[in-house]
Amino acid sequence: MNEIQSGPASNARHADILIIGGGLSGAMLAAQLLRLPGRRSVLVIEPRTELGRGEAYSAVELGHTLNGNAARMSVDPDNADDLTQWLTDHIGAGGWPESAEQPVPISELFPPRGLFGVYVQQRLAEAQAVGALNGSTVEHVQAEVIDLQTDDDSVRLTLSDGQRLQGAFAVLATGMFPAARTPQKESSGLNAAALDPWDVAAMRQLDPQSTVLIIGSGLTMVDAVVSLEQAGHRGPIEVFSRHGLLPHVRRQPPAWVDFLAEDHSIRTPRQLVRELRRHCREAIVQGIDWQAPLDTVRAHIGRLWNQATDRQRRQFVRHVRPWWESHHHRSPPLSAALVERLHREGRLRIQAASFKGLEPGSQDGVSIRIRRRGEADTCVVRGAALINSSGIEYDWRRVARPLPQQLLARGLIRPGPLALGIAAAVDGAVLDAEGQIARRLFAMGPPLRGMWWESTAVTDVALQAKALAARLVVAAAEPARLRPAAQRS
């Protein structure tokens, strides 16, 4: 870990608001702040060279598409058609010519992730132009935050390059961390055998007929399979996940009655699952896609999760989560068709098995130890390469990055419900180790998984960005006023 540099606050750069993380969450919050009346300075601290992309939207391959269609992916919470309108203009100007191969309305297209990143950046640039009229600014500081301190008057950050920043407020918009309980690319024993799910260039170095092992069977696995196909890989692909469940394909179902808006007696995750199953069965009887009732739930899941008890949440995670993930977080049609074809041809095998660790001594390739579901003994599986597609680490106690470790050590944060993300009030204000609501430190996006359950999708983050921007502007206008007590999770 980098050594923390201390020094007088007068040596620090100053800004009104410090946004830690410049992927989708940080860029959307910055855009919302720029569009609000008033003058303010914002620093976005992000190690990547560009704001608004993060890992997800830095993809360069056209086959790596959004998991939702354009109608579902607007960054403007007040205009659900914003991405559709942007794509209409972009395609009309000659952009994304490959879209002509998909004979569907633009609202039903699944754009490439890299193109979505361009859209986010353009909306941020437009917000910067609006903000400039009021004297507001956003600046990208290309570094990693390695420490954070706060008091009644300010927040102070220490960066990986030695810089120090000071602001009235700071926001943890850190995005997602990779799962800690599975091997990362830096793991001893992996070296060149570890492949990034999106690194097509590295996959081209493989023997096309070699066996590739993948841990995890969710949407990242789907991306990895797309990458392998585009790299020319034609060998076996062995996928291992605890339940062996694949994401369902995303379709375009008709509208369904918003039953949660009409029935306020549904207040727990268990009641939700029971009622949702009933509506899905009813839809099937009527010849309607079961995805129609499921899609009405999104607007209410945060409220239901937030008001549930820890026991109810724990039951949901233990018994429902794998099926919720595979049904709710669905795969784009073209990617799903590829996975289905490879599975049918026998090149892709999905196995219900738990990853138990790396096996040492592999000179060429990689060996892993697994335990298949229903079996007591473990076994070793060997491949030419390993792709970790096991998802996201929400427990910040397991995240091996300087900032989460420092925040925990200083008692500035505490784990969220079920150790999912970090604890916060309903307005995003972080709770410290004693459960006190921070006056100057906020969070948004994936760190609030434990607060809202669904806190990673574009629509979730867009709504949070709008609300948090308004909250920060109000707080900045009343610096001497103690924040009122807020409802806690």
- pLDDT at residue 123 tops 80: yes
Low-confidence winner among 83-97, 139-153, 183-197, 397-411 (lowest mean pLDDT): 183-197
The pLDDT score that the predictor gives to residue 364 is 80
Residue 235 three-state SS: coil
Low-confidence winner among 183-192, 243-252, 457-466 (lowest mean pLDDT): 183-192
**pTM of the complete model beyond 0.95:** no
The pLDDT score that the predictor gives to residue 178 is 86
The pLDDT score that the predictor gives to residue 262 is 86
Report, as an integer, the average pLDDT of 159-178: 97
Amino acid at 457: A
Spell out the domains of the chain, with CATH numbers in brackets: 9-64+112-178+395-477 (3.50.50.60), 191-248+330-390 (3.50.50.60), 264-322 (no CATH)
Low-confidence winner among 214-218, 358-362, 401-405, 450-454 (lowest mean pLDDT): 358-362
Report, as an integer, the average pLDDT of 440-448: 98
Alpha carbons 384 and 202: distance in angstroms, whole number: 13
The pLDDT score that the predictor gives to residue 168 is 97
- pLDDT at residue 481 tops 70: no
DSSP string, 4-17: PP---GGGSEEEEE
In this prediction, residue 391 has a pLDDT band, given cuts at 50, 70 and 90, of confident
Q: Of all residues in the chain, what percent carry a pLDDT higher than 70?
A: 93
The pLDDT score that the predictor gives to residue 269 is 84
Nearest partner of 424 among 407, 441, 406, judged by Cα = 441
- pLDDT at residue 5 tops 60: no
What are the start-end ranges of the H helices in 144-208? 200-203
Q: What is the mean pLDDT of the chain?
A: 92
Alpha carbons 29 and 16: distance in angstroms, whole number: 14
Q: Which residues pair with 366 in a beta bridge?
A: 383
The pLDDT score that the predictor gives to residue 270 is 86
Residue 156 three-state SS: strand
The pLDDT score that the predictor gives to residue 486 is 41
Alpha carbons 133 and 303: distance in angstroms, whole number: 37
In this prediction, residue 488 has a pLDDT band, given cuts at 50, 70 and 90, of very low
Q: What is the pLDDT of residues 180-215, one digit of tens each?
A: 766 655 554 555 678 999 999 999 999 999 999 999
Amino acid at 477: A
Structural tokens at position 140: 């990208």
Q: What is the pLDDT of residues 152-164, one digit of tens each?
A: 999 999 999 999 9
Q: Of all residues in the chain, what percent carry a pLDDT higher than 90?
A: 85
The pLDDT score that the predictor gives to residue 362 is 66
The pLDDT score that the predictor gives to residue 131 is 98
Amino acid at 325: E
Alpha carbons 17 and 168: distance in angstroms, whole number: 6
Report, as an integer, the average pLDDT of 308-331: 94
The pLDDT score that the predictor gives to residue 485 is 41
Residue 402 three-state SS: helix
The pLDDT score that the predictor gives to residue 166 is 98
Residue 261 three-state SS: helix
